[in-house]
Amino acid sequence: MNKTIILQRAKEVLNIEATGIISLIDRLDDRFIQAIELLYNCRGKVVVTGLGKSGLICRKIAATFSSMGTPSFFLHAGDANHGDMGMIMEGDVVLAVSNSGETEEILTLIPTLKRIGVTIIAMTGNHDSTLSRAADVVLNAGVAEEACPLGLSPTASTTAALALGDALAVILLEKRGFKEEDFALRHPGGILGRKLLLRVEDLMHRDAEVPLVGGETLMKEAILVITSKRLGVTGVTDKRGNLVGVITDGDLRRGLQAHGDGILSMRAEEIMTVKPRSIEKDALASQALARMEENIPRPITSLFVVEKAGDKAPVGILHIHDLLKAGIV
């Protein structure tokens, strides 16, 4: 096969697969609506079962359902025949995927599923199959041809089943009013999960780790605090413990340029930057990042943390490195 033939065949494969998915559109009817209602109103679990290549598609469908707010799991049809049927309870909904509708391992399950009292949704390419006749609802996932030139390996048919499963999952997500926050709860280890779940108090330094000096503190002592806390900053508080300013590495450099060694005998309140930015401890870490990046008058790398909006007494400090380590940046 030369390059031209390889590209031509690849395009033909993709066209066959795409045509298989597009052909599903005109077949969507009341049966799809019925399937959505059964899945939406399921008070148990959605059990997705299949075998072989279809079984692999079932795993993905079940995973997508679960991540989008429809509790679901994959049950291998072969394993179900040898004990795993115990995972299924009355009130569950079984989505059985079989292109032929005659997969022996699935058909063997039907009498027991009926006895348990579960609803069966069939996703198949054969409406005259045994599975179709036994199911409560049948979704037509048939394709005109497979991309495999031998017509033996499921290709376009599994792609169509996967796409139809995605259509079910997305409609259920929208019907449930599923939001980004709900998605994050199911993906705590992902970037979105961290951005929507992690709060400032989860990451901030507190107690003895917070660099603070009084306004009357001499700069030679303030510099020691900045150095020992290793955050490149110290807060400056008044006699009531309220944050009135900050001294950063940048303030030190500007102070040295303006005053030379004389800066060491100056008070912290003479060098500090007034009106420091702060953030509430229950704010999202992503909000803290946005506040750090505000160009007023310039981006900063540390934020002092207060208990709640309107408070001025610092209870912690958050550094840009803390956000980096947490994957927020």
Q: What is the pLDDT of residues 45-64, one digit of tens each?
A: 999 999 999 999 999 999 99
Strand pairing class (72-76; 46-50): parallel
51-78: average pLDDT: 93
Question: What total of structural domains would you count in the chain?
Answer: 2
Cα 162 from Cα 156, distance rounded (Å): 10
Residues 296, 226 share a domain? yes
20-29: average pLDDT: 95
**Length of the chain measured in residues:** 329
CB 70 within 8 A of CB 169: yes
Q: Which of 141-145, 189-193, 219-223, 257-261 has the lowest mean pLDDT?
A: 189-193
**Per the domain annotation, does 205 fall within a domain?**
yes
Give the CATH number for residue 292: 3.10.580.10
Identify the domain containing residue 27 by its residue range. 3-178
pLDDT at 189: 59
231-247: average pLDDT: 94
Tokens of 277: 């930015």
pLDDT at 182: 64
Give the CATH number for residue 170: 3.40.50.10490
Tokens of 144: 């005109």
If you count DSSP H runs as helices and E runs as strands, how many of each does the chain have, helices first? 16, 13
**Per the domain annotation, does 212 fall within a domain?**
yes
CA dihedral sign, ordered 188, 191, 197, 199:
positive
For the chain, what percent of residues have pLDDT higher than 90?
77
> Letter for the amino acid at 78?
G
Residue recorded with tokens 């004389």: 262
Work out the pLDDT band at 286, boundaries 50, 70, 90. confident
Write phi, then psi, for 266 (nearest 5 degrees). Answer: -85, 160
**Per the domain annotation, does 161 fall within a domain?**
yes
pLDDT at 233 over 70: yes
Report the chain's mean pLDDT, rounded to a whole number. Answer: 91
pLDDT at 327: 80
Q: Rounded to the nearest 10 degrees, how much is the dihedral formed by the CA atoms of 117, 131, 166, 24?
A: -140
Helices (H), 191-248: 191-197, 200-203, 219-229
Residues 249, 152 share a domain? no
